[in-house]
Amino acid sequence: MSDLADRLRALPGFPEHLPELDTATLPEDPGELVLAWLEDAIASGARQPHALTLLTRGEDGAPEGRTLILKDVDEHGYHVATSRRSAKGRQLAADPRAAMVLFWRETGRQVRLSGTVAALDAEASRRDWLSRPSATGEVDPDWQVYALRPERVELMQAREDRRHTRVLYTRPDGIWEHRLL
C-alpha cells in the first residue's frame, strides 16, 4: 500500500452530524427536493454551492466531465452557460444527452440528474452574458444558455451509520415516480 493510499484513507469523510431524509414525506416532483437542498447549501455559506459536474459524450462516445456553474432552474430545467464553440457545446449539438452531478459536502448530499439538454433562446443567452461579473459591453455571439430537462434524478443523503439513503425518480410516462435504492 502506498503512502498516498494510507493518507487518503485517513482523511475525514462526511461530517459527524448529518440531516436525515424522511423517505415517508418525499415530494412527487424531485425538483422540490433539489431546490430545498440547494437552498440549504446556499444558506450554509459554503463556497460555490452552485458548482456542478456536467457530463457529455465526446465524439468517440467516451464520457467527458467538467465543472460548471448552475445559472437557474425553471420549467426548462437546470441552466448552465458556455460557448457553443467549446468542446461541450459541440458535443451537446451532436448528442444532447447529458448528466449533471451536484455534491454538497457539508450536508453529505449528492444529486445526479440525467436527460436531454436544449439550447435556450438568444435573449436568455444575451442576458446571461451581460450578467457575468467580467462582462464587457459586447455580447459573445457564441454564448449559449442550455437547460437540462432531467428524466432521471437520484438524490443521496449520507448517513452517520453509512447506510446512505438513495431515492431514484424517473418519469417513464411523463409522470414522476420514485423508489428507494
Ligand X SMILES: Cc1cc2nc3c(=O)[nH]c(=O)nc-3n(C[C@H](O)[C@H](O)[C@H](O)COP(=O)(O)O)c2cc1C
> Cβ 21 to ligand X, closest distance in Å?
26
- Only one residue has cell 423508489, namely 179
Q: Considering only 34-42, 85-93, 95-103, 172-180, which stretch makes contact with ligand X by CB under 6 A? A: 85-93
Nearest distance in Å: CB 90, ligand X: 8
Q: How far is the CB of 24 from ligand X (least distance, A)?
A: 36
Nearer to ligand X by Cβ, of 81 and 156: the residue is 81
Nearest approach, Cβ of residue 63 and ligand X (Å): 11
Using CB under 6 A as the binding rule, whether residue 131 contacts ligand X is answered as no
Q: Which of 18, 73, 87, 168 binds ligand X (CB under 6 A)?
A: 87
Closer by beta carbon to ligand X, 88 or else 112: 88
With cell 459536474, the residue in question is: 53
Closest CA to 15 of 160, 155, 157, 162: 160
Q: Which is nearer to ligand X, 23 or 48 (CB)?
A: 48
Determine the Cα–Cα distance for residues 13 and 130; give it in Å rounded to an integer: 39
- CA gap 178, 172 in Å, rounded: 11
Residue type, 75: E
Told to check if 144 binds ligand X by CB under 6 A, we report no
Q: Which is nearer to ligand X, 80 or 99 (CB)?
A: 80
> Could you give the string, one character per residue 44-73, with x where binding to ligand X holds by CB under 6 A and - elsewhere?
----x--x------------x-xxxx----
- 86 belongs to the binding site for ligand X (CB under 6 A): yes
45-55 in b/e form (b: 16+ CB < 10 A) is eeeebeebebb
Residue 62 Cβ, how far from ligand X at the closest point, in Å? Answer: 12
**Judged by CB under 6 A, how many residues of this single chain contact ligand X?**
13
State which amino acid sits at residue 153.
V
Contact status, residue 160 vs residue 18, Cβ threshold 8 Å: yes
Measured from the Cβ of residue 30, the count of other Cβ atoms closer than 10 Å reads: 23
**Spatial contact of 88 and 50, defined as CB atoms under 8 Å apart:** no
